[in-house]
Structure 1
Amino acid sequence: MTHRALKLTLPRTPAASSILFGLACAVLAGCASHAPIAEPPPKVDLPAGWTVAGNSNHEEWPDKNWWQRFGSPALTHLVAEGQSSNLELAGALARVRQAEAEARIAGVSLLPTANFYSGANRAVPIGSGSASTSAANSLQVSYEVDFWGKNKAGVASAEASLEANRFDRQTVALTVTSGIVSTYLQVLSLHDRLAVAREHVANAEHVLKLVEAQKSAGAASPLDLARQRSALAQQKSEIPDLMQQEREAQSALAILLGKTPQTFSIGKEGLDTITLPEVSPGLPSELLSRRPDIRRAEANLAAADANVAVARANLFPSINLTGALGAQSSALLSLLNAPNLLVNVSASLMAPIFDGGRLKRERDLAVARKQELVQVYRATVISAFSEVDTALGQIRSLDEQRRLKTTELEQAREAYDLSEIRYKVGAEDLMTVLDTQRALSNVQNDMGILKLKRLQATVSLYKALGGGWKEDQSRGNSLPGKT
């Protein structure tokens, strides 16, 4: 890139220095009007309401300690542990600290720079003559006049990036917290399913004893005995798979807590220790300020605005003010005497002449990047609305499925009990008992899965609504639910 530099050097007189100082002050004062103005985020058509209405009797928005609504002290303890030990969250905090350092670095461009130089030289002749010593000291101060607002825009970009990293950390915190809650519920569900599977095995063993007694009395055939032994083996074969799923879920939970799976385990309680909370989705317009990922997209867009301002300012000349105060003397003792002091004040103007179009291409790149982030913001908002609607739909659907499945479970249990009684008195054959036993097992397993899905749908709704996050929590190192 080629620049045309114009340099103005004023003589070492108090009057000239005063003139340049006044000129610099005037220029600096004029720069204040060139601060970049961030554009508001683009408008997105907001729905008037949700496709599926929430609980009309519960109007409170999710609070920051939403996981406590499940009524489990063990879960509350795990969430607190995860917020302090999760490795992804620690990495997000490190990114915030990096952004803070970058913002401070960007702010330096608004201040003058000063450098001090000191040196001494001693010349010793080889032949005749005496040695001589000389010394020089100088203090150089330089400042780039931010006439076009380039430096201010750079600072604004760094500060917006810092905000984006803070919002990103809150997004990670929400994801980690919801992951801990959801995985913990999965572990408890597997505890329940294992208990049901062992109950089925016990029922099958009980029926096997009945068949063996019937065979001894001549009322059952070897085929009936083989069928029941096969049914018992099938029931037992489900337990190892459930145990492996339980181990995998506990390992996933350990990773979320920043622990090795080999050193982590939880109790054998089930989902009966969990309370099903109610949550209101509120108004769709509230979502724009309640989700940290939306605020992050908004902050990234603000940073892109500032980067466009930087790229445009680079197309204009830059103005630099330079001042130097120094002294040089052939004798060290007279170094600071008035006659040896030197003052130099200068101003320079550097304007781009030919750079092959690089600066214009950089401006075009910044504009295109901003246009991309506009679409990212819109997509983030639309996705947020979709997630809330989907979670509400899942809750309504699962509630209806559980209502119907509860009736099915009651009838399946009654059918199994009646078939066993009738088999004892010889009124039913073994196949009827096996069919009702299999039907009861399937319905109980389905009920356990539906209960887990319903609880996890509530977790998804909490997450989709921002988990009770508020903007003032993006400052400092606080986490949702922590003080």
Structure 2
Amino acid sequence: MSMAHRFLPKVTALLLAGCTTGGHASADPAITSPAHLSADRPGSPLTAPDDWWSGFRSAELSELIGRARSEGFDVAASEARVRRALAGTRIAGAALLPDLNANVAAEHSDGDPAFSIGLATRYELDLWGRNHASRRGALAMLDAAEHDRNAVALIVETETAAAWAATVAATERRAIAAHNLHAARRILGLVESRQRAGMANPLELGQQRALVASLEQRLAQIERERAFSRATLASLLGRVPQGFDVATTTLTGVGLPSFTPELPSAVLLRRPDIAAAERRLAAADADVALARAAMWPQITLRAGGLFESGRLPRLFDNPIYSLAFALTAPIFAGGRLAGERDYAVARREELWADYHGAIVAAFAEVEQALSHIDTLERETDAQTEALRQAEIAARLAESRYQAGAETLLVMLDAQRILYAAQEDALTLRQARIRAAIILYRSVGGRLPT
């Protein structure tokens, strides 16, 4: 049994146990960790560097991701949510401290001045942990907001990389289509010359013209696809698409990242969405404790001091102090408190299921990404040979047609096979890059700093 096989169930159990409380552990179902992932095979990709996009070896991509993180509106909104959660912790923590209020008054009536200063303080004894539970829940939600921010940043990074790759692929695809259209038009001129000389019939001429028209249609379709991906990329950067473009024109120089093996449990430790789900579950635990504490009496202490005088120098000569003790206990609330408790318990069960689902989904996504990369690599090996043979066949068919040793139909078939092989090669390379991006996202991508 590999180290990954032995270690993974333990890590999963620890993660799940860390978010349970004493009153709920027995009712929480357990997750059965998968026996293995494809990642256990030698050389499988599971390690992502902090700047995971550097594996593509593109300065432009690195710059665009940096701009998306600093200028994109999604990341800015997530930062604001973190600040809002931080303010929530200060609000919740204030209940643990006494309130202190002061009032100062000065009056002048019938020629006699009157001065007074009053101080009052109020403090709730947190015997049942209600206020502590409120602060604990607020702190957990702050953690969740920070993990959500990291999750949003990861999504922005990967979507930017995918949109950039799609735009570059469309640029390269456009160049291939333009080159093929130029070649088809050149051959069309040859067919027209042969037809005028009586060496080609109208059917051959019509077939070549149809091929030229289909390539023109394909070029227009590629232009539309490129405009769409370019607009998507611009929006991720917080920019309008007008005047925006990328400089890279081919995926040929873009690196395919190499990966090193690591324990599959890393998928649980890196993913910010799983960490956020765990912290929401912890906040739900605090909400349950808060709802239960609300059903018990509240004890409040109040103290105050009053200083009054008709002359300022004698203001503090005769102070009046007060100390009060108040006990407030719920007697009848029409089932509201019990309903709030049941609501909190049900919410916790919902979040527990969400947490389970996030962990299971993480395993599935990594497995799918690894399998996709593996099949794409095998497809690429086969397609590389298919492209090489298609190029040879197209050159031979054209030269034989020019020599009158082959029919136009054979040359047309060779052209179509070559064009399709060229597009397939580019499509597979783009798919391989996108598969790497998806794998980075599935393992948590860039580690939060």
Q: Is the 8 A contact 1:38 1:306 kept in 2?
A: no
Alignment of 1:45-60 (within 5 A): 45-50=32-37, 52-53=38-39, 56-57=42-43
Q: Is the 8 A contact 1:324 1:344 kept in 2?
A: yes
Unaligned 5+ runs, structure 1? 1-36, 125-130, 474-483
1:453 to 423, 431, 436: 431
Q: How many Å separate the matches in 1 of 2:150 and 2:272?
A: 6
Task: Report the equivalent of 1:33.
Answer: none
Q: How many Å separate the matches in 1 of 2:72 and 2:376?
A: 31
Q: How many Å separate the matches in 2 of 1:425 and 1:86?
A: 59
1:78 to 31, 54, 64: 64
Q: Is the 8 A contact 1:54 1:280 kept in 2?
A: no
CA 1:393/1:49 → structure 2, altered by over 3 Å: closer, same or farther?
same
Q: How many Å separate the matches in 2 of 1:86 and 1:219?
A: 62
> TM-score under structure 2 normalisation?
0.90
Q: How many Å separate the matches in 2 of 1:377 and 1:49?
A: 21
Q: 1:443 offset after TM fit, Å?
A: 1.8
Q: 1:346 offset after TM fit, Å?
A: 1.6
Q: Which amino acid aligns with 2:86?
A: E
Task: Report the equivalent of 2:362.
Answer: 384
Q: Which amino acid aligns with 1:85?
A: E
Q: How many Å separate the matches in 1 of 2:312 and 2:418?
A: 105
Task: Report the equivalent of 2:284.
Answer: 304
Task: Report the equivalent of 2:13.
Answer: none
1:292 to 272, 282, 294: 272
Q: How many Å separate the matches in 1 of 2:307 and 2:210?
A: 103
Unaligned 5+ runs, structure 2? 1-17
- Please identify, of 256-265 and 55-64, the stretch whose mean Cα deviation from structure 2 is larger: 55-64
Q: Is the 8 A contact 2:43 2:261 kept in 1?
A: no
Q: Deviations over 1:259-295 (max 9, x none)?
A: 1111311115200120111224622222221111000
Q: 1:53 offset after TM fit, Å?
A: 3.7
Are residues 1:348 and 2:348 paired?
no
Are residues 1:44 and 2:24 paired?
no
Are residues 1:105 and 2:91 paired?
yes
Are residues 1:336 and 2:322 paired?
no
CA 1:94/1:392 → structure 2, altered by over 3 Å: closer, same or farther?
same
3-state SS, counterpart of residue 260 of structure 1:
coil
Task: Report the equivalent of 2:48.
Answer: 62
Q: How many Å separate the matches in 2 of 1:247 and 1:274?
A: 21
Q: Which of 1 and 2 has greater Rg?
A: 1
Q: 1:55 offset after TM fit, Å?
A: 6.3
Q: How many Å separate the matches in 2 of 1:239 and 1:373?
A: 49
Q: 1:223 offset after TM fit, Å?
A: 2.6
Q: Is the 8 A contact 1:54 1:392 kept in 2?
A: no
3-state SS, counterpart of residue 237 of structure 1:
helix
2:391 to 392, 398, 413: 413
Q: Percent identity?
A: 37
Task: Report the equivalent of 2:15.
Answer: none
Q: Deviations over 1:392-421 (max 9, x none)?
A: 111111112222222222222222222112
Q: 1:326 offset after TM fit, Å?
A: 0.9
Q: How many Å separate the matches in 2 of 1:225 and 1:112?
A: 93
Are residues 1:170 and 2:156 paired?
no
Q: Is the 8 A contact 2:307 2:315 kept in 1?
A: yes
* Aligned residues between the structures: 426
3-state SS, counterpart of residue 405 of structure 2:
coil
Q: Deviations over 1:13-53 (max 9, x none)?
A: xxxxxxxxxxxxxxxxxxxxxxxx96369642222421x34
Q: Is the 8 A contact 1:71 1:274 kept in 2?
A: yes
Q: Is the 8 A contact 2:181 2:216 kept in 1?
A: yes
RMSD over aligned Cα atoms: 1.9
Task: Report the equivalent of 1:396.
Answer: 374
